[in-house]
Structure 1
Amino acid sequence: MNLPYQLLTFAVLATCWELYAGVRGGLLLPGFAETVRATAGLLGEAELWRALYVSNQALVLGFALAVVVGVPLGTALGRFRLLERYADVHLNILLVTPMAALIPLLVMSVGVGTVSRVVLVALFSVVMVIVNSRAGVRQVDPALIEMARSFGAGERTVWARILLPAALPAVMTGVRLGLGRAVTGMVLVELLMVSDGIGGLILTYRGLLKAPQLYGTIAVILAEALLLGAAAHWAERRLARWTRPNPSRTRTARSQR
């Protein structure tokens, strides 16, 4: 339903970009059409795909580490107040710390390589996963837990039947937001530390003043981020389908008023 409006907005932005580049552009600002041609040319080059392969290794491993650590830790923090008292200060430090400042520490501790890139990507995304997972458990109505307890439900049953199903939408939201942050960390770590993958390609085109290829590379990164976000949103709808409104029930409720 929103596709026509999105296409209209994209057309307006592309037109403004082309007009501005025609008036004020030059060596460092290509037009929209020129950028599209450069992007199409990049997609046919093996160098781009090699760079994407190298960069996405850190993205996949780092994001998987963030999910494996963040979801259990976030749900545990939301459930056990005592654990949250000890861990909350460390979580707040991660929330306010500029991750780029940790790059020199990573280089000195684990060296320059895949491990440091994976760790930084994980640090970028794990905070979002933890915070949203904790919020999902916290928003569960305590009356539901007390009712389950009154019927003899144990802690495992409370987790399986109440906490995890109720927290799943918030957990998936955290995973989706963390995925966007992971892409940011993937690019940032290569721009500031290891110029081997897609970040190295950006620095190369910038140094050679190849603006169309530079903008095309950034467009490829944006396209990947949008595709990953759409895939995460689709998974969120599939796994938490009970949270979506039922159109037939909505129409019935309106007709009964």
Structure 2
Amino acid sequence: MTTATTHRRARGAATTRTGPVEARRPCPPRRLLGANLPYQLLTFAVFAVAWEAYATVWGGLLLPTFTETVGATFQLLGTAELWQAMYVSNQALVIGFAIAVVIGVPLGIVLGRFRALERFADVYLNILLVTPMAAIIPLLMMSVGFGLASRVILVAVFSIVMVVVNSRTGVRQVDPSLIEMARSFGATERQIWTRILFPGALPAIMTGIRLGVGRAVTGMVLVELLMVSAALGGLILEYRGLFRAPMLYGTIVIIVAEALLLISLARWGEHRLTRWSKATTARSTR
């Protein structure tokens, strides 16, 4: 065996060790949990201590302490009333947000692809962006009623704007030279859509979905507070009327926790589906 052959095999073995092995290496817990987790925990601890001190010294009937809120939260989690309310509320959340994604993603991609269609739809997107959504609730009450349909429509209207706008932006960010290159090699319009436009816009689409989740939770609670005194919104109104401040704050804590959980799941899905884009960006900046 020659010396050159030995060096080539050694280099190949080194490449194999430093390439696939590192790619298969699991992420450390710090990366999985996030580098900012210690700072977030510290901030939360400071907030909890400040809340406890303020409520103990200056709080009254309407402001429970932090420990009372935590106790009420765990007490609520053990009641069937809360889970029934969450089931009713999340029906509108799931259906409305699914409609927003199913309609919003294709609509945003089409608007980003065809500028002529955007001229007709842009004014309606601007209306949805600047109009206070609470003003739409009386219109829904008069046209649809007080049932599930009105709650689903409001959740969808709340969240679809973010999905459409980010999907449109993602298509516009695709390099036009890639489309021209694909056409020069004989790619069909379907191949351009499936292999260039949609993959290129996927990071922005996932960002719109993540932002839309938060808007959907806001719409879910708002419609129950202002239109239908039922489910989680009904619990908030009931505890407020009875001056049961710990239970009121505990309900709000549960709603916020659900929203944070859904946003974290959306962020995880965004990371899983767009991992290739981060790797491509890292290689291009080297």
TM-score (norm 1): 0.95
1:247: Cα distance to partner?
Answer: 11
Amino acid at match of 2:132: P
SS at match of 1:244: helix
1:146 aligns with 2:180: yes
The separation in 1 between residues aligned to 2:214 and 2:91, in whole angstroms, is 16
1:224 aligns with 2:252: no
From 134, 137, 148, give the equivalent of 1:103.
137
Number of equivalences: 252
1:184 maps to what in 2? 218
1:132 aligns with 2:142: no
The separation in 2 between residues aligned to 1:248 and 1:68, in whole angstroms, is 31
Amino acid at match of 1:215: Y
CA offsets, 1:167-205, max 9 Å, x none? 000000000100100000000000000111100000000
1:1-257 mapped onto 2 (5 Å cutoff): 1-245=35-279, 253=286
1:244: Cα distance to partner?
Answer: 2.5
Gapped runs of 5+ residues in structure 1? none
The separation in 1 between residues aligned to 2:202 and 2:251, in whole angstroms, is 35
SS at match of 2:60: coil
Change (3 A) 1:151 1:124: same
1:243: Cα distance to partner?
Answer: 2.2
The separation in 2 between residues aligned to 1:11 and 1:229, in whole angstroms, is 22
1:22: Cα distance to partner?
Answer: 1.3
Change (3 A) 1:239 1:247: closer
Gapped runs of 5+ residues in structure 2? 1-34
The separation in 1 between residues aligned to 2:267 and 2:50, in whole angstroms, is 30
Amino acid at match of 2:239: Y
The separation in 2 between residues aligned to 1:153 and 1:86, in whole angstroms, is 29
Amino acid at match of 1:208: L
The separation in 1 between residues aligned to 2:203 and 2:127, in whole angstroms, is 26
RMSD of the TM alignment (CA)?
1.6
Amino acid at match of 1:189: V
**Percent of aligned positions that are identical:** 73
The separation in 2 between residues aligned to 1:197 and 1:72, in whole angstroms, is 32
The separation in 2 between residues aligned to 1:6 and 1:63, in whole angstroms, is 29
Change (3 A) 1:223 1:112: same
Amino acid at match of 1:112: F
TM-score (norm 2): 0.86
SS at match of 2:186: coil
